C-alpha cells in the first residue's frame, strides 16, 4: 500500500509540475537565427527587396492590400510608377494613392494560406522591373493559439490547451480514482487483521496509541493514508486555483485576452523589442518621412569645435552719448526706437542743458565782466584808430586781440544758460539699443542709443590654446540650428580671457537674422585628414545611456541602434570614426522620432 501511495504521489506531482511549468515552454530570446518576436500582432504582409527597390504590402482590409514602394538606398517613395499585381488566381492593376503608395483590391488577396504575388512595375522614365514575394494569411484560430502561447506548440498540446474541460476530465478521473482508493484503504484499522478471539489487552498492545492531536472532529483517528489523501486534495485545489485564476479557463476567455489582429495598416504600431531594436511599419516610415543613406568610407578633414558668440565689426558699431547733462527732447517730433534705420549725421534728439543755481550765478557774473571788458577794449581801439600813428602798431594789435578773445569767451558763456546739445548718429545702421524717452534727465556719458551696421559681423571664438589656428585650412560657424556661416580668420589676441585664447573671425556669409551676442558653434578644419563615414549631424542622437548612437535599417521594417564615435566636420555633417561598416543603411532624417519609440 505504501508503494502505491508513493507512486500516486509521484504521478500527481509530475502532473502538477507539468501544468505549472507549461507557460515557461514558450520562452523567448533563444532563437538566434530569427529576429525577436513582436510585442503586438501586426497585419499579414508581403516583402520584396532588390538592390534598388524595397516593397512592402500590408493587408489593410477585406480583400485589400496597401503596397509601399520605396527606394532601397534612401527609403524615399518612388513617384510616378505604375503597378500590376498577379498571382495564380488572377491579376489586377494597383491604384496609386500618392507617391510610392498603391491600393490593390482583389478577392484572392486575403485567402488563408501562402500566396506567391508578382509585382510588375513600370516607372516614370519608361523602365520596368519585376518583384516577387509571398503573402501568408494565417488562420484566425492558429493565430490566436500562437499569440497566446508565444511559440509554435505541438498539435496535441494546442488541442488540450484549447479544450480545458477535456484536460480536466482526464486528470480529474485519474485523481478521483486515487483519492477513492486512499480513502477506502485508510478507513481500515490495523486491528481488523487480528484474531477476534484474542483478549482486550493483547489487542491494545498491538494497536498504536493515537494522540489527541491526530484525532478528527468526531474523535476518529486520522491514519497516514487519510492524511495523505487530504494533502493531495489540497494540492489539487491549489493546482485548480492556479490554472483557473492565472490562465483563461475557456477558449472564449483566452480570446478576450489576446489582442486582435489589426484590420487596417493604421493600427500597426511601432514597437521596441527586448533587444532594443525597433519594428516600424512601412506606413509609419512613409508618414514620418524616414530617410536613409548608404554608409561609405572616405577621408575627411580633421576638425575641432569651439564655442563662440557674434559681435559687431569694429567699424560697424556706434554709440550716442551726451557730453553735458540735461533733459532729452525729441528731434523733429520723432523719438528713435529699436529697429529704426538711421544714416550717419542724422539728428536723433536734443539735450536741453541745465546749470545749478550757484554755477549759474557765477556764469552770469563772468558774462557781465566779459561784456564790460569788451566795451572798454572797443573804446580804446576806436581811439587808436581815430588817431593813426599816435600809438605803436604793436599796441593797437594787442588791444584788437584782447577784444576778439573776450568776444569768443562771451559766445561760449552765453549758451551755457540756454543752449542745447544735438545728438547725431555716428554711423549708418540700425538702432539696437534705445535708452532715452522724452523728458528724461540724462547725465554726461550716458549711453542713449547704440547703432549696429548689419553689413558686417564678426564671431569671437574661445580656444583652449593658441596653436589651434596655426594649421587652419577652413572655418565655419553654425547658428539658428545648423544655419552655416563661412568665416575668414582675422587673428587672435595676445591676452588670455579666463585662461583661453580669443580668436576673431569675419563672417563672409550675409545673414540679416544675425544678432550681436548670439551663440555660435565654430568648426575649425585643419589640413590633416581622418578616415571615416561622413553623415548629416541629424543622424547622431543620444541613446538611453546618453551615449551617441545611430539607427541602422537592417530590414524593410526593422531598425537597430549602434554606438558610434564621431567628430564634427563642417557644421552640417559629422565624421563617424568608429562603430559603422560599409554599405549599412543609416537613418539620416526622422532619427529623433525613431528614438522616441517605446
Do residues 536 and 552 share a domain? yes
β-strands 573-578, 472-479 pairing: unpaired
Residue 322: give its domain's CATH number: 2.40.50.100
Task: Classify residue 244: in a domain, yes or no.
Answer: yes
Of all residues in the chain, the percent with pLDDT exceeding 90 is 31
> What pTM was computed for the model?
0.59
Task: Classify residue 43: in a domain, yes or no.
Answer: no
Do residues 336 and 354 share a domain? yes
- Which of the two residues, 30 and 555, has the higher pLDDT score? 555
Inter-helix orientation angle 224-246/164-186, to 10°? 170
What is the rounded (10 degree) CA torsion for 256, 262, 263, 267? 130
pLDDT value at 394 more than 80: yes
pLDDT value at 240 more than 60: no
What pLDDT was estimated at residue 319? 92
Nearest to 585, CA basis, from 282, 273, 291, 299? 291
Task: Tell me which of 398, 431, 452 is where a domain ends.
Answer: 452
Task: Classify residue 484: in a domain, yes or no.
Answer: yes
φ/ψ (deg, to 5) at 231: -65, -45
Which residues 6+ apart lie within 8 Å of 222 measured at CB? 210, 214, 215, 216
Q: Which of 2-16, 176-190, 370-384 has the highest mean pLDDT?
A: 370-384
Do residues 130 and 147 share a domain? no
pLDDT value at 452 more than 90: yes
What pLDDT was estimated at residue 84? 93
Residue 101: give its domain's CATH number: 2.60.40.10
Which residues 6+ apart lie within 8 Å of 209 measured at CB? none
Residue 520: give its domain's CATH number: 2.40.30.170
The C-alpha atoms of residue 66 and residue 45 are separated, in whole angstroms, by: 9
* Mean pLDDT of all residues in 146-167: 49
List 91's β-bridge partners, or say none. Answer: 86
Q: Grid coordinates in use for 557?
A: 521594417
What pLDDT was estimated at residue 467? 83
Q: List the single range of 104-113, 252-261, 502-511, 529-538 with lowest mean pLDDT.
A: 252-261
Task: Classify residue 196: in a domain, yes or no.
Answer: no
What pLDDT was estimated at residue 71? 94
Do residues 534 and 473 share a domain? yes
* Mean pLDDT of all residues in 149-169: 51
Do residues 303 and 245 share a domain? no
Task: Classify residue 16: in a domain, yes or no.
Answer: no
Residue 89 belongs to what H/E stretch?
A: none
Do residues 336 and 382 share a domain? yes
Do residues 145 and 114 share a domain? no
Q: Confidence class of residue 411 from pLDDT cuts 50, 70 and 90?
A: confident
What pLDDT was estimated at residue 150? 43
β-strands 271-272, 278-279 pairing: antiparallel
Length of the chain as a residue count: 598
What pLDDT was estimated at residue 550? 94
List 54's β-bridge partners, or say none. Answer: 49, 70
E-only strand ranges, 271-316: 271-272, 278-279, 291-294, 297-312
Under a CB-based contact definition with an 8 Å cutoff, are residues 59 and 44 in contact?
yes
What is the rounded (10 degree) CA torsion for 579, 582, 585, 587? 40
* Mean pLDDT of all residues in 269-298: 91
Do residues 115 and 222 share a domain? no
Averaged confidence pLDDT in the chain: 77
* Mean pLDDT of all residues in 462-489: 84
Task: Tell me which of 424, 452, 480 is where a domain ends.
Answer: 452
Q: List the single range of 34-43, 86-95, 305-314 with lowest mean pLDDT.
A: 34-43
Under a CB-based contact definition with an 8 Å cutoff, are residues 563 and 546 in contact?
no
* Mean pLDDT of all residues in 400-429: 84
Task: Tell me which of 408, 425, 452 is where a domain ends.
Answer: 452
Task: Classify residue 87: in a domain, yes or no.
Answer: yes
Do residues 556 and 465 share a domain? yes
Do residues 461 and 565 share a domain? yes
Q: Grid coordinates in use for 513?
A: 537674422
- Which of the two residues, 415 and 19, has the higher pLDDT score? 415
What pLDDT was estimated at residue 422? 87
Q: Which of 159-163, 175-179, 207-211, 441-445 has the highest mean pLDDT?
A: 441-445
> Which residues form the domain of 99?
48-137
pLDDT value at 584 more than 70: yes
- Classified as helix, coil or strand, 296 is coil
What pLDDT was estimated at residue 415? 67
pLDDT value at 327 more than 50: yes
Do residues 460 and 590 share a domain? yes
The C-alpha atoms of residue 142 and residue 157 are separated, in whole angstroms, by: 13
Q: How many domains does the chain have?
A: 4
Separate counts of helices (H) and strands (E) for the chain: 11, 32
Q: Confidence class of residue 8 from pLDDT cuts 50, 70 and 90?
A: low
Task: Classify residue 152: in a domain, yes or no.
Answer: yes
Mind listing the pLDDT tens digit for each residue in 350-383?
888 876 667 667 778 888 888 888 888 888 888 8
What pLDDT was estimated at residue 449? 94
Of all residues in the chain, the percent with pLDDT exceeding 70 is 70
Nearest to 538, CA basis, from 527, 549, 523? 549
pLDDT value at 126 more than 50: yes
Task: Classify residue 383: in a domain, yes or no.
Answer: yes
What pLDDT was estimated at residue 563? 94
List 105's β-bridge partners, or say none. Answer: 64
Which residues 6+ apart lie within 8 Å of 346 measured at CB? 424, 425
Name the CA radius of gyration of the chain, rounded. 48
Do residues 407 and 333 share a domain? yes
pLDDT value at 552 more than 70: yes
Sheet order of strands, 45-49 included: 45-49, 53-61, 64-71, 101-105, 95-96
Amino acid at each position: 500500500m505504501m508503494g502505491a501511495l508513493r507512486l500516486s504521489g509521484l504521478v500527481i506531482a509530475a502532473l502538477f509540475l507539468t501544468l505549472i511549468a507549461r507557460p515557461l515552454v514558450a520562452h523567448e530570446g533563444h532563437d538566434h537565427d530569427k529576429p525577436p518576436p513582436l510585442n503586438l500582432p501586426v497585419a499579414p504582409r508581403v516583402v520584396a527587396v532588390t538592390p534598388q527597390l524595397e516593397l512592402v504590402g500590408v493587408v489593410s482590409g477585406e480583400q485589400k492590400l496597401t503596397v509601399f514602394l520605396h527606394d532601397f538606398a534612401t527609403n524615399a517613395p518612388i513617384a510616378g510608377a505604375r503597378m500590376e499585381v498577379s498571382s495564380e488566381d488572377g491579376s489586377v492593376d494597383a491604384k496609386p494613392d500618392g507617391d510610392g503608395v498603391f491600393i490593390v483590391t482583389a478577392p484572392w488577396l486575403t485567402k488563408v494560406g501562402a500566396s506567391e504575388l508578382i509585382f510588375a512595375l513600370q516607372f516614370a522614365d519608361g523602365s520596368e522591373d519585376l518583384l516577387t514575394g509571398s503573402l501568408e494569411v494565417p488562420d484566425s484560430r492558429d493565430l490566436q493559439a500562437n499569440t497566446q502561447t508565444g511559440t509554435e506548440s505541438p498539435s496535441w498540446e494546442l488541442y488540450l490547451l484549447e479544450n480545458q474541460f477535456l484536460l480536466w476530465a482526464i486528470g480529474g478521473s485519474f485523481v478521483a480514482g486515487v483519492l477513492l482508493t486512499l480513502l477506502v484503504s485508510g478507513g481500515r484499522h490495523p486491528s481488523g487483521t487480528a484474531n477476534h478471539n484474542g483478549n482486550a489487552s493483547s489487542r491494545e498492545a498491538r494497536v498504536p496509541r493515537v494522540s489527541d492531536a491526530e484525532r478528527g472532529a468526531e474523535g476518529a483517528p486520522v491514519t497516514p493514508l487519510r492524511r495523505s489523501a487530504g494533502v493531495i486534495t489540497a494540492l489539487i485545489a491549489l493546482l485548480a486555483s492556479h490554472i483557473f485564476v492565472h490562465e483563461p479557463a475557456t477558449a472564449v476567455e483566452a480570446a478576450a485576452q489576446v489582442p486582435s489582429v489589426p484590420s487596417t495598416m493604421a493600427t500597426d504600431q511601432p514597437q521596441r523589442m527586448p533587444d532594443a531594436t525597433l519594428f516600424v511599419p512601412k506606413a509609419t516610415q512613409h508618414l514620418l518621412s524616414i530617410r536613409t543613406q548608404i554608409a561609405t568610407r572616405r577621408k575627411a578633414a580633421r576638425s575641432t569645435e569651439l564655442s563662440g558668440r557674434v559681435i559687431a565689426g569694429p567699424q560697424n558699431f556706434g554709440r550716442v552719448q551726451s557730453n553735458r547733462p540735461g533733459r532729452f527732447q525729441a528731434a523733429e517730433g520723432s523719438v528713435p526706437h529699436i529697429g529704426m534705420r538711421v544714416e550717419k549725421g542724422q539728428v536723433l534728439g536734443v539735450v536741453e542743458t541745465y546749470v545749478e543755481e550757484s554755477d549759474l550765478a557765477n556764469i552770469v557774473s563772468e558774462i557781465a565782466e566779459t561784456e564790460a571788458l569788451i566795451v572798454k577794449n572797443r573804446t580804446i581801439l576806436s581811439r587808436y584808430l581815430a588817431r593813426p600813428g599816435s600809438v605803436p602798431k604793436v599796441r593797437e594789435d594787442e588791444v584788437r586781440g584782447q577784444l576778439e578773445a573776450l568776444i569768443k569767451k562771451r559766445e561760449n558763456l552765453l549758451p551755457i544758460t540756454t543752449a542745447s546739445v544735438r545728438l547725431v548718429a555716428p554711423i549708418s545702421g540700425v538702432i539696437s539699443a534705445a535708452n532715452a524717452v522724452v523728458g528724461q534727465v540724462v547725465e554726461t556719458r550716458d549711453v542713449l542709443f547704440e547703432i549696429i551696421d548689419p553689413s558686417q559681423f564678426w564671431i569671437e571664438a574661445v580656444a583652449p590654446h593658441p596653436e589651434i589656428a596655426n594649421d587652419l585650412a577652413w572655418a565655419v560657424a553654425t547658428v539658428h540650428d545648423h544655419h552655416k556661416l563661412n568665416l575668414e580668420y582675422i587673428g587672435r589676441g595676445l591676452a588670455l580671457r579666463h585662461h583661453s585664447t580669443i580668436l576673431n573671425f569675419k563672417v563672409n556669409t550675409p545673414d540679416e537674422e544675425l544678432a550681436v551676442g548670439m551663440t555660435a558653434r565654430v568648426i575649425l578644419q585643419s589640413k590633416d585628414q581622418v578616415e571615416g563615414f561622413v553623415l548629416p549631424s541629424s543622424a547622431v542622437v543620444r541613446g538611453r545611456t546618453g551615449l551617441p548612437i545611430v539607427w541602422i535599417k537592417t530590414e524593410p521594417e526593422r531598425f537597430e541602434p549602434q554606438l558610434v564615435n564621431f567628430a564634427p566636420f563642417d557644421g552640417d555633417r559629422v565624421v563617424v570614426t568608429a562603430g559603422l561598416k560599409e554599405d549599412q543603411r543609416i537613418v539620416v532624417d526622422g532619427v529623433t522620432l525613431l528614438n522616441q519609440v517605446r
